[in-house]
Amino acid sequence: MVPLTESAIRASFVNCTKGEAKRLAVPLDLIDRPWTDLDFFGWRDLSGAERAYLVADPGTGPVGVALRVATGSGRARRSMCSLCLTTHTGDGVALMTARKAGPTGRQGDSVGLYLCADLACSLYLRRKKDAGRHLDETITLAEKIERTTTNLTGFLGRVLG
């Protein structure tokens, strides 16, 4: 994807207030991120707060979504990311919820998604990061990327309602 600047990221959020978008923790090392290998840019808030963010560019400019990470419930958890379909062991997949954009979100409506806990889907797909196990799939990397993008677009559509 096209490299994003901090101001482009802050301006892209669709499901939080302007004040929240101004204050949220954007990584400082944007210039060093592997943008050419990213289908979307995602990160966890390193302050320890259970927050994560993702910014995608569906072709109409960046769309940012603020996510809340569900903390371990102890119950059986899904181990497959619903975007990139990478399977992980342990805490590698997390349930994240996004407040919907607009009035429904302000009334508390949200959308949930099982995601690679570090939001590095793009790097798992390209085997630049190892998840430990891989699905035996015969489809090509390009097809996997397309599938991930389709899943992501579907999620964005649900957030935007």
Interface residues with Zn ion (CB under 5 A)? 81, 83-84, 86, 116, 121
15/64 Cα distance (integer angstroms): 8
Residue with Cβ nearer Zn ion (63 or 116): 116
Question: Minimum Å distance from CB 54 to Zn ion?
Answer: 11
Question: Minimum Å distance from CB 104 to Zn ion?
Answer: 26
CB atoms within 10 A of CB 23: 11
Report yes or no: 120 and 93 within 8 Å, Cβ to Cβ: no
Residue with Cβ nearer Zn ion (58 or 161): 58
| 16, 56, 84 from 131: Cα distances, Å | 31, 22, 12
Q: Buried (b) or exposed (e) across 45-79, using 16+ Cβ within 10 A?
A: beeeeebbbbbbbeeeebbbbbbbbeeeeeeebeb
Question: Minimum Å distance from CB 108 to Zn ion?
Answer: 27
Residue with Cβ nearer Zn ion (31 or 130): 130
Length of the chain: 161
Question: Minimum Å distance from CB 95 to Zn ion?
Answer: 13
Q: Which residue is nearest to Zn ion (CB)?
A: 81
Residue with Cβ nearer Zn ion (10 or 88): 88
